[in-house]
């Protein structure tokens, strides 16, 4: 049987031949890819000539192409369209792949060659990107434990293997529990406040599971979009209770023991590698450099955010006439917003038809900034029938890459929204570029329009910012391609792209009533802009609560013994001053996928860390170019296009002309008095 994963695709930009790929192809393809890379690395180590950049780093960058191709396809599948079979494969492969990575990064012969070139770096005539490549590899291998004695390496391998297995189990269990805890309702009256399209979608969701009535499926964060509009307080409470119960109610999908074991193993690994805790280990290779720098920023913002949230809560209490609970906040916030600004977010939705938002908003802004255009490729098959494929062309009509757009939620897709890369063009290897945007917008009933919420529109712009980062990357080496940048920098380009959502020229182009084609009324637009800072106390507090909880779990040292997830979380939130029950963290520990399975461990601070750069960049666009090719080209050439090929803060200085300042962020979030 021919395995379609083992040969480079001949489709445009190397689009995987999804129609030919079966589940049984994955394991053999992974095995072949690992064997191929082991042989490639062994050849580097066996080279008896003096280590050089050319005989060590170039073959390293060329190695593992089959494995990389297989992994990109498989992990896109496992996150966007999983199944029991895919989950089983993922669980089987997790420790095997961890061992494979360890075998390379802990190889003493390879580390010796890397270190030899690194030691001679100042005497080598290398260009800036090549020099940075040597520094990057040396840092990675050193932090990975390549310099440990053999006994330490053996324990490290055990820790990495177990962690990879546990993190996969966390992801699998959370997806299952999120599906199982969907709220089943018998009567449409219980959904009063929702639109007809949303009620129809809830009915379809129930039918998909062979149920009568209606089903409110959960989303990844604590808060559910329906909480803004559900009139029935008891139903709101049920939805919030179901969301918060994930991973806590016993059985095979309870994640509490996983949380405790994962954090303990991470702490042990950090000590083995010479760090005080896992947060110190993680931030050493980020722009933050230390967890103390992270703590200083978060603790500067938290008091003002909590103070603003308390003031907002008082307004909600006055509106409701009773003490506000977590399931009430969004509902009464909408009413207070309407009273203060005459803005009804539900009334915006007819102006946010998904196709117009995509083509006349997201694509339009990118075209104005960067001169690119988009062509739908109905002849190309993606990994699910809902996924659409677009080819992206540069201003000179050359093909930049493919953009895969996966809008709708389904039981086989994990929660949230994210961007994947299926291929990255580089000067060294050539090849194509393929990026994927995944969302979780409820699919309407047949014949109904897809009307987005205000937040969903923002998410489309955000995720497309990641897509642009991937599409525009033009580096020599695969290691630096696309979004391969520091975790606490990667959110910056996507956050900047959100600014165009309300840019007058862009908003006027896409915000048209789906039935009449009329533009969103000018007075409504002005009220929306005036209300942008509304409820920022809540929004900032729920985010900071999650970020500081993530830090707390990963400041634990290896000698600590935590027995209760609930008690630890309560103590951490109290210490942060963010323990108001009406403002729960955006993610609680038992369903905090970012930190326990999603690669943001000790790194969830990255969003607001990056937002400092984002807010400062928005000021630059407003003061200088606005929505123009000049500004877009400067941002593309000096930031987006360099990928990870230079220090990100140096790239920022190249763009901005100076370091970022925090004041624009404080003004945006109403935290001007933070730290007082």
Cβ atoms within 10 Å, residue 167:
22
- Per residue, the 3-state secondary structure of 141-162, as one string, reads HHHCCCCCCHHHHHHHHHHHHH
193 close to 236: Cβ distance less than 8 angstroms? no
Three-class SS state of 410:
coil
Instruction: Report H helices in 511-605.
Output: 522-530, 536-554, 565-576, 593-596
Name the phi and psi angles at 159, rounded to 5: -65, -45
Task: State the sign of the Cα–Cα–Cα–Cα dihedral 232, 233, 234, 240.
Answer: positive
Burial letters 440-472, b for 16+ CB under 10 A, else e: bbbbbeeeebbbbbbebbebbbbbbbbbbbbbb
Question: Distance between CA 279 and CA 300 in Å, rounded?
Answer: 19
- CA-based nearest residue to 471, from 5, 13, 8, 11: 13
Question: Distance between CA 133 and CA 303 in Å, rounded?
Answer: 41
Question: CA-based Rg of the chain, rounded to a whole angstrom?
Answer: 25
463 is catalytic: yes
The dihedral formed by the CA atoms of 494, 497, 501 and 505, expressed in degrees to the nearest 10: -170
Question: Distance between CA 95 and CA 162 in Å, rounded?
Answer: 7
Q: Which residue in 463, 498, 569, 611 is the catalytic one?
A: 463
| Phi and psi based region of residue 655 (left: phi greater than 0; alpha: psi -120 to 50; beta: remaining) | alpha
Distance of CA 547 to the CA centre of its chain: 14
376 close to 389: Cβ distance less than 8 angstroms? yes
Cβ atoms within 10 Å, residue 240:
22
Structure tokens at 481: 């391609």
Cα-based distances in Å from 539 to 45, 264, 653, 676: 52, 30, 29, 20
Q: Which residues are known to be catalytic? A: 463
């Amino acid at each position: 049987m021919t395995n379609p994963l083992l040969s480079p695709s001949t489709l445009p930009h190397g689009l995987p031949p999804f129609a030919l790929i079966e589940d049984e192809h994955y394991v053999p393809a992974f095995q072949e890819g690992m064997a191929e890379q082991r042989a490639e690395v062994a050849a580097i180590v066996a080279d008896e000539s003096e280590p050089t950049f050319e005989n060590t780093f170039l073959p390293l960058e060329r190695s593992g192409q089959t494995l990389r191709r297989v992994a990109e396809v498989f992990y896109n599948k496992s996150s966007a369209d999983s199944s029991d079979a895919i989950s089983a494969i993922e669980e089987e492969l997790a420790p095997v792949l961890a061992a494979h990575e360890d075998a390379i990064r802990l190889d003493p012969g390879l580390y010796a060659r890397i270190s030899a070139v690194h030691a001679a770096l100042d005497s080598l005539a290398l260009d800036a990107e090549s020099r940075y490549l040597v520094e990057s590899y040396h840092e990675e291998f050193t932090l990975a434990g390549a310099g440990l004695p053999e006994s330490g390496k053996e324990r490290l391998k055990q820790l990495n293997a177990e962690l990879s297995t546990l993190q996969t189990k966390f992801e699998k269990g959370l997806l299952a529990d999120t599906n199982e805890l969907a709220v089943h309702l018998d009567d449409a009256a219980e959904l009063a406040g929702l639109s007809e399209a949303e009620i129809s979608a809830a009915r379809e969701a129930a039918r998909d599971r062979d149920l009568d009535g209606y089903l409110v499926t959960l989303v990844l964060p604590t808060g559910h979009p329906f909480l803004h509009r559900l009139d029935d307080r008891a139903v709101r409470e049920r939805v919030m209770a179901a969301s918060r119960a994930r991973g806590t109610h016993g059985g095979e999908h309870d994640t509490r023991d996983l949380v405790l074991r994962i954090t303990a193993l991470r702490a042990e690994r950090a000590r083995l590698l010479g760090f005080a805790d896992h947060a110190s280990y993680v931030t050493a290779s980020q722009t933050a450099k230390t967890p103390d720098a992270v703590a200083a920023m978060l603790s500067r913002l938290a008091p003002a955010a909590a103070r603003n949230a308390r003031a907002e809560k008082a307004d909600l209490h006055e509106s409701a006439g009773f003490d506000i609970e977590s399931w009430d906040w969004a509902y009464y916030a909408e009413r207070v917003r309407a009273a203060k600004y005459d803005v009804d977010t539900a009334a915006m939705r007819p102006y946010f038809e998904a196709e117009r938002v995509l083509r006349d908003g997201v694509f339009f802004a990118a075209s104005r900034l960067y001169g690119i255009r988009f062509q739908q490729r109905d002849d190309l098959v993606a990994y699910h029938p809902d996924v659409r494929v677009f080819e992206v062309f540069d201003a000179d009509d050359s093909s930049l890459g493919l953009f895969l757009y996966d809008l709708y939620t389904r039981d086989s897709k994990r929660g949230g929204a994210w961007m994947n890369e299926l291929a990255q063009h580089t000067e060294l290897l050539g090849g194509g570029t393929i990026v994927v945007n995944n969302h979780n917008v409820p699919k309407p009933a047949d014949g109904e329009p897809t009307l987005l919420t205000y937040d969903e529109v923002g998410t489309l712009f955000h995720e497309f910012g990641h897509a642009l980062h991937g599409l525009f990357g033009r580096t020599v080496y695969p290691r630096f391609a696309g979004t391969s940048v520091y975790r606490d920098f990667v959110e910056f380009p996507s956050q900047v792209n959100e600014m165009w959502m309300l840019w007058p020229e862009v908003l006027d182009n896409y915000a048209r009533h789906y039935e009449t084609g009329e533009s969103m009324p000018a007075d409504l637009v002005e009220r929306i802009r005036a209300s942008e800072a509304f409820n920022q106390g809540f929004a900032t507090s729920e985010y900071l609560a999650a970020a500081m909880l993530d830090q707390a779990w990963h400041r634990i040292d290896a000698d600590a013994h935590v027995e209760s997830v609930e008690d630890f979380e309560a103590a951490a939130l109290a210490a942060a001053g963010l323990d108001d029950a009406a403002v729960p963290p955006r993610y609680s520990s038992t369903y905090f996928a970012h930190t326990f399975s999603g690669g943001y461990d000790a790194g969830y601070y990255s969003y607001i860390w990056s937002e400092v750069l984002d807010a400062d960049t928005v000021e630059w666009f407003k003061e200088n170019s606005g929505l123009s090719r000049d500004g877009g080209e400067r941002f593309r050439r000096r930031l987006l296009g360099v990928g990870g090929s230079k220090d990100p803060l140096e790239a920022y200085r190249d763009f901005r002309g100076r370091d970022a300042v925090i004041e624009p962020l404080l003004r945006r979030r109403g935290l001007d008095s933070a730290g007082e």
